[in-house]
Amino acid sequence: MNDWIEARRAEIDRALAGILPAPPECPPPVGDAMRYSLTAGGKRLRPILCLASAEAVGGDRALAMPAACAIELIHTYSLIHDDLPAMDNDTMRRGRPTLHVVAGEGMAILAGDGLLTEAFHLMAREPRIDDPAIASRKLRAIARVAAAAGPLGMVGGQAIDLACVTPDPSGRLAPPLDAAALETMHAMKTGALIRASAAAGAIMGEGADAQIDAIDRAAAELGLAFQIVDDILDIEGASADLGKTAGKDAAAGKPTYPARYGLDASRRMAAECLGRAEAALRGGGIADGRLLEIGRWIVERSN
């Protein structure tokens, strides 16, 4: 399985290298800033999940590649903005200085905006096949990804997170999140885009509605598991391994699973997510084992 993941990661990196606009059409400062963050590496989990989902429903992953790349553009934009001084104020991401440290806050904001909008340009444009059925699938995938990236998903979850650590004008913080609110925040902030990655792949792979629904439900569990493990690694991981500053969530008093439940219970909860994901896939008749292998990779990862 590791060989398959590494092969897909290399395939995705090759595709990403050729999709961003270049001079003279794109001004070099913003183009360079976009490339700086996009080419910094990373797990490429979301595009890998997109391609795996296309294959799981018997589809051609080449048709899902534009959506996979677009989702990585959106994820990279979210990291750029998340690192800004107005958000997490972090200085290291993917093992190198964050973009606002290198290029300034203004250019970092513009680069993030550029990546987000270019993602939907890419999904609308590719694959360039004159087929009404594929056009319909592209529209469905765009709708899923757009909803996941916006105020109903990632942006909304980030807003909840920010409100938990940012005093209101009177100096008061929002009340601590209860268990349901913590799960909702993580489902929006992290889980929504992971979920949309899998659903978009299944859609572009021409999956049946029942297959798409099963993959969507499984990916919701994988997204929650990913965030729980991220919370654990923020406490236990080393900055050099994570590629970002460890311990920042705890220092900022952010709502996390270990803070609420403890480390051991959080580990159990991540494993339970994987069990529910397996049940969802089995119930939808998805026999391809790669999605579950990706789930195990999520739960067992060290960075």
Cis geometry, peptide bond prior to residue 21 (ω within 30 degrees of 0): no
Q: What is the pLDDT of residues 206-224, one digit of tens each?
A: 999 999 999 999 999 999 9
What 3-state DSSP class applies to 134? helix
| Bridge partners of residue 23, in order along the sequence | none
Nearest to 46 by CA among 20, 15, 67: 67
CATH number of domain containing 208: 1.10.600.10
Categorize the per-residue pLDDT at 238 as very low, low, confident or very high, splitting at 50, 70 and 90. low
Contacts of 73 (CB under 8 A, 6+ apart): 19, 38, 115, 116, 118, 119, 122
Cα–Cα distances in angstroms (integers) from residue 116 to residues 20, 109, 125, 128, in the given order: 11, 11, 15, 20
Q: Which pair of structure tokens corresponds to residue 33?
A: 């800033």
| Bridge partners of residue 93, in order along the sequence | 96
Nearest to 165 by CA among 155, 157, 180, 175: 175
Q: What is the pLDDT of residues 44-99, one digit of tens each?
A: 999 999 999 999 999 999 999 999 999 999 999 999 999 999 999 999 998 899 99
The pLDDT of residue 250 is: 63
| Contact assessment for residue 193 and residue 187, using Cβ atoms and an 8 Å cutoff | no
| Contact assessment for residue 298 and residue 291, using Cβ atoms and an 8 Å cutoff | no
Its domain, for residue 46, covers: 2-300
Count of residues in the chain: 303
Provide the number of structural domains found in the chain: 1
The pLDDT of residue 251 is: 58
Sign of CA dihedral 88, 223, 246, 160: positive
- Which residue type occupies 224? L
Q: Is residue 246 scored above 80 in pLDDT? A: no
Sign of CA dihedral 167, 177, 297, 246: positive
Q: Which pair of structure tokens corresponds to residue 200?
A: 């978009």
Nearest to 57 by CA among 285, 257, 292, 295: 285
The pLDDT of residue 2 is: 81
The pLDDT of residue 106 is: 98
